[in-house]
Amino acid sequence: MRNKLKIGCHLSASDGYLAMGKEAVAMNADTFAFFTRNPRGGAAKEIKQADVDAFLAFAAENGISQLVAHSPYTLNPCSSNEHTRQFALDTMKDDLLRMEYTPGNMYNFHPGSHTGQGVEVGIEEIAFLLNTVITEEQTTTVLLETMAGKGSEVGGRFEEIAEIIARVEKKEKLGVCLDTCHIWDAGYDIVGNLDGVVNEFDKVIGLGKLRAIHLNDSKNPIGARKDRHETIGNGYIGFEALSRVINHPALCDLPFILETPNDFDGYKREIEMLRAAYNKK
């Protein structure tokens, strides 16, 4: 049963786009995420136009859309090290060119860690990177991911995300990806007061900026600032609360991406569970 819930998981890009599309359909998903290159950074695999064309046709036939690509998680746009910042900038520039092979999708990244420079400097550097890499021509929306706030991570508070957005010129190419494990770990009580958290997001950032959800349970209690994902229903957030997330009127039409520690069968099971819990007809 494939209902209106837009859901998928993080897939390996090593066999190309068509392979990911087929894997998504096999687990009853209609969207997915993937790393644009090796998650640890480094050179990206060449994109084959034939694979892209086959995928685009397959995706259109099978209702796959709203992909949420993920930048390598080792990039740090607000490191105190200038070379590290430049590497993040060069990599993202290249990733955004690669994203145009599959036009109109989303590219999510971690704002980064300020490594002792302070949040304000971090925010300036992240905005500088975005103002450098985002182009008028791109069809991709760049998403800032909400973070758990561990160490010197920027983006653990909605206010920090809002401050970055405020400094970016081409705001229409910019959005936010909300990670349920991360905001829970950052102290937002989506179990006891989901409405309150959604209202807070709206007040500080604006719900119009929210473009995707990373749907994860957490291995840790609220406010732990750890960022350790758990399978759906087996962590401190729990299945009931995550069901309320997918059914919330402000969230229910967004793409939901699972980043839970799972193999193919585990993802398939979670997608089935969540589709069954989805109320919108």
Nearest approach in angstroms of CB 227 to Zn ion is 4
Cα separation, 57 vs 270, in Å, equals 27
Site for Zn ion, rule CB under 5 A = 227
**Of 85 and 214, which CB lies nearer to Fe ion in the complex structure?**
214
- With 0-12 / 13-18 / 19 or more C-beta atoms within 10 angstroms meaning exposed / middle / buried, residue 21 is buried
**Of 21 and 112, which CB lies nearer to Zn ion in the complex structure?**
112
- Quick one: which of 123, 130, 125 has its CA closest to 175? 130
Q: What is the DSSP-derived secondary structure letter of residue 47?
A: P
- Quick one: which of 95, 110, 109, 96 has its CA closest to 44? 95
Cα separation, 184 vs 274, in Å, equals 19
Nearest approach in angstroms of CB 259 to Fe ion is 5
Q: Which of 11-19, 88-96, 163-171, 254-262 is the region at the interface with Fe ion (rule: CB under 5 A)?
A: 254-262
The residue whose Cβ lies closest to Zn ion is: 227
Q: Which of 119-127, 153-161, 173-181, 237-245 is the region at the interface with Fe ion (rule: CB under 5 A)?
A: 173-181
Contact status: 179 vs Fe ion (CB under 5 A): yes
Contact status: 227 vs Fe ion (CB under 5 A): no
80 phi and psi angles, rounded to 5 deg: -75, -15
**Of 145 and 230, which CB lies nearer to Fe ion in the complex structure?**
145
Please choose which of Zn ion, Fe ion, none residue 214 contacts, taking the beta carbon within 5 to 8 angstroms, the exact cut-off set by kind: Fe ion
The residue whose Cβ lies closest to Fe ion is: 214
Residues 6 or more apart whose CB falls under 8 angstroms from that of 101 comprise 47, 49, 52
3-state secondary structure of 112: coil
Would you state the structure tokens that stand for residue 137, as one six-digit string?
């021509």
Q: Figure out which of the listed residues 173, 214, 220, 255 binds Fe ion, where binding follows CB under 5 A.
A: 214
Nearest approach in angstroms of CB 93 to Zn ion is 24
Task: For the chain, state the CA radius of gyration.
Answer: 18
Please choose which of Fe ion, Zn ion, none residue 227 contacts, taking the beta carbon within 5 to 8 angstroms, the exact cut-off set by kind: Zn ion
Give the interface with Fe ion as residue ranges (CB under 5 A): 145, 179, 214, 259
